[in-house]
Structures are given as C-alpha cells and as structure tokens.
Amino acid sequence: MTKNEQYNHTLLKLLCAETYFVAQMNASREMFGKGYFSLGAVEKQSVDQAVLNSVGAILNLITPEWLGIVSPTPPGFRPAENPPASS
C-alpha cells in the first residue's frame, strides 16, 4: 500500500468513526431524550444496536464501484498473455 493509499484509508476510517459517534449521539437523543453518556447500560445497548443496524444497512449499499475503487486486475487473476482468437 502506498503512502497516499494508506493516508486515504486512514482518513476514511477517521471519517467513519466520527460519523458513527455522531450517529450514536443523535440516536440517543431521539430514542431517550438524553445524551449518550447519561444513558444506562441497557439503553446504551439499545442505541448501539440501532446505530450498528443502520450503519450495516448503509454499508451494504456501498460498493467499490460507487466509491470509485477500481483495481486494474482482480486479486488472484492473471490475464492470458495470448487471448484465444475468436472465430
């Protein structure tokens, strides 16, 4: 992984973590009318489960094509040097 790719990967992880944190804060306010850190253990678990389900659903919608990630050849695939002639 090049330094540029590593930086992009780290930046993406940071943005995801921040978004997840904000989603938890908003979900706790909407579900219980309290801040996340003032919730009890069961309430926190409910908020965490709701946010994880939401994030998981969104993650399933994201594809590498949508993100613009295109590899020149798929991993483990080696194209034939002399493709067969079509008749």
In a domain, 85, yes or no: no
Better-predicted residue by pLDDT, 58 or 35: 35
Confidence of residue 7 (pLDDT cuts 50, 70, 90): confident
In a domain, 52, yes or no: yes
Q: How far is CA 11 from CA 21, 37, 61, 81, in A?
A: 15, 26, 20, 38
Q: Can you give the residue range of the structural domain that contains 11? A: 3-66
Give 10-39 pLDDT, tens digit per residue: 888 888 888 888 888 898 888 889 888 899
Confidence of residue 42 (pLDDT cuts 50, 70, 90): very high
Task: State the angle between helix axes of 41-61 and 3-32 in degrees (0 to 180), rounded to the nearest 10.
Answer: 130
In a domain, 75, yes or no: no
In a domain, 73, yes or no: no
* CA-CA-CA-CA dihedral for 53, 58, 60, 61, to nearest 10: 150
Contact 24, 48 (CB under 8 A): yes
pTM: 0.54
In a domain, 53, yes or no: yes
Domain count, the chain: 1
In a domain, 19, yes or no: yes
In a domain, 42, yes or no: yes
